Amino acid sequence: VLTLVAGLGATLLSGCGSEQLISIGDLSSGYNREVAFMSAFAIALSVIIFVGVSYALFYTVNKFREDKHTDAPAQFHGNNRLEIILVVVPVIIVMFLAVLTVRSMAILNPVPAQATKIDVLGRQFWWNFSYPETTADAGGNVANGNEMIMPTKQKVALTITSGDVIHGFWAPNVGGQRAAMPATLKTWNVDTDRAGVYQGNCSQLCGGSHANMRYKVVALDQERYNTFLAAAKAYRAPEPVADSAAARGYAIFMQGKPATGALACAACHRVQGTPAAGAAGPDLSFFGTRRTLGAGMWEAMTPQHWEAPQAAEALHEWIKHSPLVKPGSLMPSYDGSEYLANGKKVKGGVLTDEEIDDVAAYLRTLKLPEEANYWNDTP
């Protein structure tokens, strides 16, 4: 009841503007409404039973108080009627709850044929969201790291897995949670009636940066979602202008800097419409449109915030030595220091501060067209 009240309060208070408060009581989601309905029944039943049992207890204690009775109460052995009642009543209660549960499962579990499908991959310590039914014109499926875009007012069918240890997909405002298990595909449906931005977290202790394994769920009304998906399908990363910082960054991104041992970003990251097709790190195709960095370690909730010097600094620090910023990050350090990758000490290559800024400049150009920017005016 408390969570429901808190959830309702959060829903009302957060009204418009930025992100919705994280809540399991967000009744914009059909899943949460179903859970709330079942909880209400279970709680009501529990209250009735609690009151009944408490009454019987105090009645008995009071009635057979020692100062009232010098004689022992009536002694008897076995009472068939009472014992049958004691078995039958709980069985009826449990069966009633079971029927309710099965009813909810029958509502929540089926996936309509036309449901939007999203593949969710959890890894230490980031998420990838890809759209298995949307092949990009440039090849591969449309995908995005750490920001999941979904349509409102319909079930979204997730297929959840992990690339290493067990993680937990948990974005309670859009419904429930599901473990992300290595070598296992778990299905899970989420939904919300309300367009907006919602917080997602990893809900399974998974290593040093478990707490830094966050993501955003951006729910868009159908029309805007279609615009996003169509633009994402047609998207090809823009070619950097010759001789610009972005062009120098592009060269490092694709080839690294062999002279100093700096690995190519493309070895681990994919950028749609370029030769970069790595799958060991999050998809960076729309990096310039994203407002989060390092799986929620840094986030800009307004475009202005993204232009601020702190954003540039955060990105610079991230590229320079992400294992220092984020314990357990498997991204190489480009400051020449040793870093720990899967328990082994690995020496990162070296990029100068200017070269790091060049890579950042390139990343900032990776933008969806403005009309498909899923953050724009997100309620």
Contact 276, 270 (CB under 8 A): yes
Smallest gap from Cβ 330 to ligand CUA, in A, equals: 13
Residue whose CB is less far from ligand CUA, 272 or 322: 322
In the complex, the smallest distance separating the C-beta of residue 203 from ligand CUA, rounded to whole angstroms, is: 7
Q: Which of residues 113-142 bind ligand CUA (CB under 6 A)?
A: 122, 125
> Of the candidates 216, 223, 225, which has an alpha carbon nearest to the alpha carbon of residue 150?
225
Contacts to ligand CUA from residues 157-196, by CB under 6 A = 167
Edge-first strand order for the sheet with 167-170 is 147-151, 214-220, 196-202, 167-170, 177-180
Q: Which H or E element spans position 359? A: helix 353-364
The burial of 261, by beta-carbon neighbours within 10 Å (0-12 exposed, 13-18 middle, 19 or more buried), is given as middle
Give the x-and-dash track for 198-237 against ligand CUA (CB under 6 A).
Answer: ----x-xxx---x--x------------------------
* C-alpha span between 290 and 337 (Å, rounded): 28
Structure token pair of residue 254: 């694709």
**Measured from the CB of residue 32, what is the shortest distance to ligand CUA in angstroms?**
22
Considering beta carbons, is residue 214 or 320 the nearer one to ligand CUA? 214
Q: Residue count at the site for ligand CUA (CB under 6 A)?
A: 9
The residue assigned the tokens 């009304």 is 221
Nearer to ligand CUA, 89 or 205 (CB): 205
Nearer to ligand CUA, 167 or 321 (CB): 167
Complex with ligand CUA: residue 192 or 209, whichever CB lies closer: 209
The partner residues of 98 in beta bridges, in order of sequence, read none
- Burial class of 102 by CB neighbour count within 10 A (0 to 12, 13 to 18, 19+): exposed
Binding mask 69-108 for ligand CUA (x = CB under 6 A): ----------------------------------------
Binding site for ligand CUA (CB under 6 A): 122, 125, 167, 202, 204-206, 210, 213
